[in-house]
Structure 1
Amino acid sequence: MEKKAGTKKSLQTLQASEIRYRRLFETAQDGILILDAETGQIDDVNPYMINMLHYSHEEFLGKKLWEVSPFKDTVLNQAAFEELQDKGYIRYKDLPLETKEGKPIAIEFVSNVYKSNGHKVIQCNIRNITERKEVNQKLEEAAIFQQRLIDALPMPVFYLDSEGRYLGINSSFEKFFGQKREQTTGKSVYEFFPKEIADNFNEKNRVLLQNPGIQIYETIVKDTGGIVRNVIFHKATFPNSDGSVGGLIGAMLDITDLKRAEESYRSIFENSQEGIFRSTPEGKIIMANQAMAKMFGYESPEEGMTSITDVIRQHYVNPEDRRILKEMIKEHGFVKGYETQCYRKDGSIIWISLTMHALRDEKGQIIYYDGINADITNRKQTVERMKKALGATIQAIAVTVETRDPYTAGHQRRVANLACAIATEMNLPIDMIDGIHMAAAIHDLGKISVPSEILSKPTQLTNVEFSLIKTHSQSGYDILKDIDFPGPVARTILEHHERMNGTGYPNGLTGDNILLESRILAVADVVESMASHRPYRAALGLDAAMEEIEKEKGALYDMSVVDACLRLFRKNGYQLQ
């Protein structure tokens, strides 16, 4: 009885074990094949294997492993089976298979031999690693992309683990320090940097790792050639998946050239003979050099910046200049060589030539004006003295001409005044108007080469006599052509008898080939001549002169010049004087 009871209990235990095995077999998340160890014939296959390859239970059973379609033409051939029989274990980490529909998958294949109920069997565990391979491939691609990304950066980049060991560097790091990537990975700064530099790096890294965030600082390092370089380090910590500090990543910016340029600029700034400054849009000077201070009579830049609180009122003789400057900079971004008068500390006035440009923020708003002042007072005074001397010379020449032709006394002066009035009405620049005045004041200079009896002849001139008169513009030009006037004075005199349609003299010029100054002088000369007495005729009058230029506007005379002249007399009440 006892023997029967023991046998029954053993059977129950065996049955329970078999049930557990069957459950494990059927619920396993790996494919399982059970093979006869002697023949290689498949005796059993679990559901996961069927679902993985999409072959039915019947398509597996009774066949040898290498006869089943997915395993054909793989390393799982008869030779491998014999190796398995001999060694009792075989493993392939990565095998390519195809499902019944031809979809490629990757598997890990593990097989071993064991006894079951006194009979040798082979269990093949087949794990689908397709997703794992895809994930790994994406991770590898991401790592390659990351490395190529940091390799593309022009500055050295590195990253360390939480213990301060290098995880990786970029190509710029390799080039700068002469260290290969494989030489640095897993090592600390002490293994390839001098101790004094490594101590500094290590301490900065320790502080950052203990206080996660961002760290920026300037220091010095030696490059692969042993040259000391000024650099700025930008570092930041990165976390592990659990939120703990995983390490830090850093980038190094070489600012050696920038520092040298800054030192060079500082030297230029401090030693320049021209005043250099920076001011706010409101007019407060916030930076100036010693030359700027000296120019305006201050002992130091600090004194000047403190004393000048209202640049418009304290600095500019004409406050309107400040507004004009700001408008020009607003439109063009800069202004160059703007001449204006300014007050010095003691109230005296100087002339300066000002060059300025605007600095803007990311929104395009002006935040500063940077400028350079040059003291041009001496130049201005010299030019003014030269102008006065030249004016006196011009007046002397004009008197000489009028002495030769007393009937036209005052003609050149009246023409000069009218020509300047026309140019002013046309809004021409002051320098151009000054040049027109000079030319007009001596435009008949060439008449000194014409016999006086012809100039003062009380009757109509013969053709020969008029031909001699017509040479005066060329003669005047020949006398003046080699003198360096502040403007085209000689050419203006040469062309003042040219006409728009080419009927004038001496060269028959047309249209815009005639200087604007000459076109203005031509109209002024005609108006004054017709309105005044001449030896051979009485004055024709101002109305006749106005009719003449209006009738011939566009043919003989420039249209815009005539229009300006007509406005002067008819609207502005201009009078010849």
Structure 2
Amino acid sequence: MNPVASTTDSLADLVAGRREDILRRWRARLEPSPPGMAEELQERLQGMLKLVDALVLVLRQGTVEAWTQGAFWSHAREIGLRRFRSGARVDTLVQEYGLLREIILEVLDASQQPLRTDELRMLWRALDRSLTEAVAHYVQQHEQALRSRELRLQEILDHAPAAIYAKDALGRYLFINRPFEAISGHERASVLGRSDFELFAQETAERFRLNDRRVLAARAPLVFDEEVLQPDGPHLYHTMKFPLPSVAEGEPWALCGVSTDITATRTLRQERDEAREQLQRVLTQLPSCCGPSTRRACSRSSRARACRPRPCPPR
């Protein structure tokens, strides 16, 4: 950006004439850049140079309000975007603007030229507006990246075979995946922010809440078998719950649960136990003269029920 012809004197010409000095001082006061970051540093310097030229342009036009269109502040949005992409924190961006303000003050003081108050006020307002635009764009990019990561994480967890969910310390749901919708019988939007007492039968909700309290009190993972009545009958879930402690205080502020449906496994186990008991009853009904080998042969034969005792050999 090249400053346009001056319609006022002094401050605009002073800043324009010292722009290289301002940039050199700003560069000298930055924290040392890690090796291999020369390209990023050059981008930061170029961004500050565009910012100084924009300030000069505002001073020469005579009002900040004249630049209400977003296109004029594209330099600021570019600064915010580049600082976000470089991985810098937003407070680093604010510090860089603050450093530029200090250096401009130093240059103005060193010039020993009389400055008009209205021009100084306009300069600081323009600098504040540029900072606001840069931070706003940084935050916007940050929020978009967070939403994108959340959507990807949600998609991954929605395809998990187990139900995964999180609740706050009061038992209100903060997160669920798609398999949990099948457990609760409710869609995600109607689950978030609600408690078990609003989603499940009283007895089931009380059992869930009791297990949650045990996890929060123990501050350690615990495993439970939790039964839930669903339209096709009761389902048994093997559940592991673990607390989520806060970083600052270490107190659990929430808990997470992973519940796997083991109803089919339980049914197979029950059928196996029933078959074993039935076989044992058949074996116990066989005559005592049939030895173990004969009994095994009878049990393996499809005619086990028709097995007849053979006469005992004479002694």
TM-score normalised by the shorter chain: which range applies? 0.5 to 0.7
SS in 1 for 2:214: helix
Aligned to 1:64: 57
CA gap of 1:62–1:168, structure 2 versus 1, over 3 A, is: closer
Residue 350 of structure 1 pairs with residue 294 of structure 2: yes
Aligned pairs for 1:443-462 within 5 A: none
Superposed displacement of residue 148, structure 1: 1.9
Residue 209 of structure 1 pairs with residue 216 of structure 2: yes
Asked if 1 retains the 8 angstrom alpha-carbon contact of 2:244 and 2:255, the reply is yes
Q: 2:201 aligns with which of 190, 194, 199?
A: 194
Q: Point out where structure 1 has 5 or more consecutive residues left out of the alignment.
A: 1-35, 68-76, 85-91, 273-288, 299-341, 355-371, 382-577
Residue 121 of structure 1 pairs with residue 122 of structure 2: yes
SS in 2 for 1:213: coil
SS in 2 for 1:353: helix
Superposed displacement of residue 209, structure 1: 0.7
CA gap of 1:60–1:230, structure 2 versus 1, over 3 A, is: closer
Q: 1:263 aligns with which of 262, 270, 286?
A: 270
Q: Point out where structure 2 has 5 or more consecutive residues left out of the alignment.
A: 1-5, 28-40, 85-89, 98-114, 311-315
CA gap of 1:235–1:136, structure 2 versus 1, over 3 A, is: same
CA gap of 1:41–1:159, structure 2 versus 1, over 3 A, is: same
Residue 82 of structure 1 pairs with residue 63 of structure 2: no
Q: Which amino acid in the other structure matches residue 238 of structure 1?
A: L
Superposed displacement of residue 199, structure 1: 1.6
Between the aligned residues of both structures, percent identity stands at 16
SS in 1 for 2:122: strand
Q: 1:97 aligns with which of 59, 78, 93?
A: 78
Residue 172 of structure 1 pairs with residue 179 of structure 2: yes
Superposed displacement of residue 158, structure 1: 0.8
Superposed displacement of residue 169, structure 1: 0.2
Asked if 2 retains the 8 angstrom alpha-carbon contact of 1:42 and 1:64, the reply is no
RMSD: 5.1
Q: What number of residue pairs does the alignment pair up?
A: 245
Superposed displacement of residue 93, structure 1: 11
**Greater RCO structure (CA 8 Å; 6+ sep):** 2
| Cα separation, 2, equivalents of 1:203 and 1:153 | 26
Larger radius of gyration: 1
Aligned to 1:220: 227
> Normalising by the residue count of structure 1, what TM-score does the alignment of the two structures yield?
0.34
Q: Which amino acid in the other structure matches residue 121 of structure 1?
A: M
CA gap of 1:378–1:229, structure 2 versus 1, over 3 A, is: closer
Asked if 2 retains the 8 angstrom alpha-carbon contact of 1:158 and 1:250, the reply is yes
Superposed displacement of residue 170, structure 1: 0.3
Asked if 2 retains the 8 angstrom alpha-carbon contact of 1:53 and 1:98, the reply is no
Asked if 2 retains the 8 angstrom alpha-carbon contact of 1:215 and 1:234, the reply is yes
Asked if 1 retains the 8 angstrom alpha-carbon contact of 2:176 and 2:188, the reply is yes
| Cα separation, 1, equivalents of 2:203 and 2:13 | 70
Q: 2:241 aligns with which of 227, 235, 239?
A: 235
| Cα separation, 2, equivalents of 1:79 and 1:148 | 49
Superposed displacement of residue 205, structure 1: 0.6
Aligned pairs for 1:257-336 within 5 A: 257-272=264-279, 289-295=280-286, 297=288
Q: Give CA-to-partner distance per residue, 1:329-367, whole Å, 9 cap, x none.
A: xxxxxxxxxxxxx845xxxx737439xxxxxxxxxxxxx
Superposed displacement of residue 217, structure 1: 1.8
Q: 1:148 aligns with which of 148, 151, 155?
A: 155
> Normalising by the residue count of structure 2, what TM-score does the alignment of the two structures yield?
0.57
Aligned to 1:481: none
| Higher strand proportion (structure 1 or 2) | 1
SS in 2 for 1:179: coil
CA gap of 1:180–1:61, structure 2 versus 1, over 3 A, is: closer
| Cα separation, 1, equivalents of 2:49 and 2:67 | 28
Superposed displacement of residue 380, structure 1: 12
Residue 253 of structure 1 pairs with residue 260 of structure 2: yes
Q: Give CA-to-partner distance per residue, 1:295-334, whole Å, 9 cap, x none.
A: 4849xxxxxxxxxxxxxxxxxxxxxxxxxxxxxxxxxxxx
Superposed displacement of residue 187, structure 1: 2.3
